[in-house]
Every structure is written in structure tokens, then in C-alpha cells.
Amino acid sequence: MEDYHKPDQQTLQALRNIANRLRISSIKATTAAGSGHPTSCCSVAEIMSVLFFHTMRYRPEDPRNPNNDRFVLSKVRGSMWHAVASGSNPGCLSLQKQQFVDVATGSLGQGLGAACGMAYTGKYFDKASYRVYCLLGDGELSEGAVWESMAFASYYQLDNLVAILDINRLGQSDPAPLQHHMEKYQRRCEAFGWNAIIVDGHSVEELCKVLGQPRHQPTAIIAKTVKGKGIPGNHMGWHGKPLPKDMADSVLKELNSRILNNNKRLYPPTPMDDAPPVSVRNIRMPSAPNYKPGEKIATRKAYGLALAKLGRYNERVVALDGDTKNSTFCEIFRNEHPNRYVECYIAEQNMVSVAVGCAARDRNIVFASTFATFFTRAFDQLRMAAISESNINLCGSHCGVSIGEDGPSQMGLEDIAMFRAIPTATVFYPSDGVSTEKAVELAANTKGICFIRTSRPENAIIYNCNEDFHVGQAKVVYKSNDDQITVIGAGVTLHEAVAAAEQLKKERINIRVIDPFTIKPLDAKTIIDNAKATRGRIITVEDHYYEGGLGEAVCSSVVNEPGFSVHRLAVAHVPRSGKPAELLKIFGIDKDAIIQAVKKMMGSSANAK
């Protein structure tokens, strides 16, 4: 960074004027709307003024320009964005608010993780000079995810990242725990390996100076501020409340009187044009899968092989993992493409946020992996990723009781329910190496959140390498002209269903077996058409709890079909450790359980007649 040049007095006064215009805009907007956070906005007015009109390099007419500095507003809601976007500096700019926002952060504690992903991309993938600024509130510093992000930024020496901490002392219902003990915040940030500087958050001179200093490590600017600065009175209890009109009118009059005549117009510095052009569309595998029918491979390993293969001819494919790469097989990608692999360690919340940041502005195709069960702790980050309209791909391995001896804490048994509940999610559940490779390729080209559920046991290849797969298209893998029941399985239970079909065939009982491939969207048409051929009789079998999984998805898809009957097999209660085959048997989702369910369903149908 160039040496700091102290701004002249005209510039400093112009920045003060902008800060007060920001206060005016946020008060006007929140009073008119009858909701919002004017006191939270008022504490950061000088910070926003200096950032947007003096420090950050960007092209205001082109908010998505890849060379622009990034800004993540982690602490407050849209009222401050409205204030900045309203043209608070006459003759300068009117920010296109929505285009400038890269991620949604209304659930506090997540902004810094996304900023880390952007900064990592800037430093290591783009090798560009744009910087990332993240504004946090003191209330959200109680969130553990913030400190996961602090550790990540320090470890990877993200010297292009600046966190500005708005220490305005007051939370929503109480003062923040450290109140205005600035040196305690400083020591905590320093303990996490950051350069931490305490400033007066209402001094544009101090802010200009500290934001203009050269940096050799991530920097935390700890800004002492007053919540509701510019609004008279005690602001405890005013969080999230707009000013009544009569009070707003009085405050606006006072704020307007503080704006001094100044003809200086401020323009943001122009960014360097050194971010490489990137395309993340039409990401394709270089060749078809290369598996032999009957060959055995775990889908978790097929995922690792597929991801490395996808990365071979697509340089913007990047992979993240949470210290499970030798179990998720993401290590295959790491070994082949070490410069595009990010180790996030055991911090899954931060890993998801970093993934969102890496994917922002369509800079990368991001895959992040860990055990399926560990994504549950990042559900808040996942739901916010959906609100951000983020395109990220997640692979959860070690699903279900079929992992065996590792025990229930490691078994993903709620993950399908969780991802099905996310509006933008696509849920892939491949059952062999071929379909896993196709899932990876499809996920790279599917908008929204993609979840690929992989298993630990080795299972046989059942598809030809030239088989065509599509999102929302199921496969009929076993059928005859006189099938009695349609059985739907996925992953290990699909193979149990095929084994059951082969056994039943010897007893002259024919069943049809369907592989849904994606649980969301579910191919309702294929399920209904085939179930009609088996008198509406369906059995679902899944290595997942009953709630929210494959069975409930199927029930929802056929609920309006007259004469349909669905019998569900799933894991009924918290499991324990054991051999995979033993656990499948104990929980009634193995071949024998399917055979018994088929015979019972056929018997009940016969009795009904």
C-alpha cells in the first residue's frame, strides 16, 4: 500500500458532512418505514463515510466490478445501506445498493467469515490488489463464529482484510459484556494474531489515518463509538426502534445545522485492474466416468476422485474441508490441486461462511466437505447462504448407521431433513461411483445450495459409464412386467433393495426398485407412474431418521394419488456403535427387512380383498 497522505481540512469537513447526511438519511428512512435501527446506524456514520468516500477503491457505476474493494456489513440491517445508497454526497454517487451487497448477514456473527472467503480469494486465487472490509458490531462479538473467522484470517495471513469493530457499548436488551473496555477487545484480537488498533470511531481524522496505514497482517480497527450518536438522550432500549416523527423532526433539524458549507466533492479512489477474468459457467468433466460394472467403491471416495477430475480442466474449482479430508476423500483434490484447496480445520460454521465468500461475485466454483452430521452445526450459515442467493456445493460423507463402529455422534441422520428445508437447496444422493461423478458435475452447474450425500461402505457400480443423469430425474434400476410393489432406496439402501429384489425373484415375487438420485427435487412423475404399475404400493427405505427424509419426501409427492399406500423403513431411534451390517439389520433397513415389508404389504393387500 502507498504511504498515507493526511487529508486536507476541506476533505475532512466533507467527510463529517457525509456522516451527518448518513444519520439524516437513516433516521428519515426508519421513521418513514416505522421500523429499523437508526441508533445502530448513527454509531457508524463516520466509519461509513470514511470507508466509502475516502478509503475504499471501487467504481460506483459498476458495483460488481471484480477489481472493486469488497465491503461486508455484518452488524446492522438495511437502513444503513439505504442511507449510503440514497446519494448522501450530492454530485458524487448513488450506490446501487442491491448490486453492491455480496452476502446477507442479518443473522449476526457471519459477516467476517464471508469476508475471509473474499480475502482468501483475493490473495491466493485472484492474486489481485482489491481489499476486503468488514464492519462488525460489539454485540455479535459474543458469537463463537466470529472467533473462528479471526483464527482463520490470522493463520492464512489475510493482510488484505480489515475488520472494523463498532464498539458502541449497547446491545439490544443490555450493554455488551465488555462495554467500553477497549483494551480488552484489543488484547483478544491480538491473541488471535491480528494487528489491533483502538480509535475514536467518530473522528474522521483518526479513521482516515488508521485505514490508510500499510498492513502486513489482518487488521482490527477497534472503534469506540456512541450508539445513537447525534440523537440526544439515553439510547438503552432504543435498539431496533425508529424515532417518533416529532422527535425525528427535532433531531434532523439539529443534524442539518451541523452540515457546514463545503463545495468539495469526494470520489472513491479508482481500483487497480488486476483481477483476472473468470468464467464459472458450463463447468464440465473432461471425460465420462471410468468404472466397470460390479466394481466396488464407496461414494465418498468417488466424490474425491470426481472433484479432482473436475478440477483438472476447470481452474476455478476450489475445495474446502474441515480436517476430514482423509475421510471425505477431499485429499485427492488437495494432492492434485494444492493451490486450490483450503483447509478450514474443525470450524464448520466458518467453513460454510468462507465458502460463501469464495463463491461471491461468481469468482469460484466452491465445494466444501465434512461429515454430513457436522453440517447441522452450521445450519444458520446455510440458511443465510440461501438468503444470499449463494452458489455453494457441500458434500456430507459418513451418512447414516452404515458408517458402523464410529457411533451415533458421527452418523448423519438428520442431514436430508435439514437441506430439504432450505428453499434454494438441491439434494443429491448418489448410489454408486458413476452417479456420484455425475452429481459432482451437475452440482457445479446448478444454482443455489447443492448437497451431495455420500456413504462409507463400498458398493457395486450399477450404472453404465454413458448413463445420462439430470437433476430431478429418478432411475428405475430393477423391474419386470408383473412387479407387485415399488421400492425406493438411496445410497446403501438402494443396494439392499436390489439384493431384496433378487432374493424375492427366486420366490417368484417381483418388485420394482427406484433410485431417486436427487431427493430434492424429487422425481414425483417417475415414482407415481411406476407405482401405478404396482397397484399404488410403495416402500421407502432410508439410512436416515423417519423425520424429513426420503420417506416423507415420497409421501408428499403422492399425497393426492387415490389408492396409493406408502410403507416407510427408516432409523427409528438414536443408534449405537456396531458393524454396518448389524446396524442395518437392527434398524430394519437391510435386505431382510425389505423382504419382510414386501411380504407384509402383499399379505395385507390380499387380506383387504
For residue 289, say if its preceding peptide bond is cis, omega within 30 degrees of 0: no
Neighbours of 293 (CB within 10 A): 12
Neighbours of 515 (CB within 10 A): 26
Q: Is 245 exposed, middle or buried (0-12, 13-18, 19+ CB in 10 A)?
A: exposed
Instruction: Clarify whether 405 is annotated catalytic.
Output: no
Calpha distance 604→185 (Å, rounded): 68
Neighbours of 480 (CB within 10 A): 11
In DSSP notation, 101-141 reads ------STT-HHHHHHHHHHIIIIIS-----EEEEEESGGG
C-alpha cell at 607: 387380506
- Amino acid found at 306: A
Calpha distance 38→231 (Å, rounded): 9
The dihedrals phi and psi of 574, each to the nearest 5 degrees, come to -60, 125
Calpha distance 536→556 (Å, rounded): 14
The DSSP symbol for 61 reads T
Residue with cell 504511504: 3
Task: Return the exposure string of 153-178: e unless at least 16 CB atoms fall within 10 Å of the residue's CB, then b.
Answer: bbebebbbbbbbbbbbbbbeeeebeb
Measure CA of the first residue to CA of the last residue in the chain; give whole Å: 83
- Region of residue 101 (phi > 0: left; psi between -120 and 50: alpha; otherwise: beta): beta
Q: At what angle do helices 550-558 and 524-533 cross, to 10 degrees?
A: 70
Calpha distance 112→133 (Å, rounded): 9
C-alpha cell at 517: 438420485
Contact 564, 531 (CB under 8 A): yes
Residues 6 or more apart whose Cβ sits within 8 Å of residue 188: none
Q: Which of 46, 143, 148, 348 is catalytic?
A: 348
C-alpha cell at 333: 483434490
Q: Is 607 exposed, middle or buried (0-12, 13-18, 19+ CB in 10 A)?
A: exposed
As annotated, the active-site residues are 348
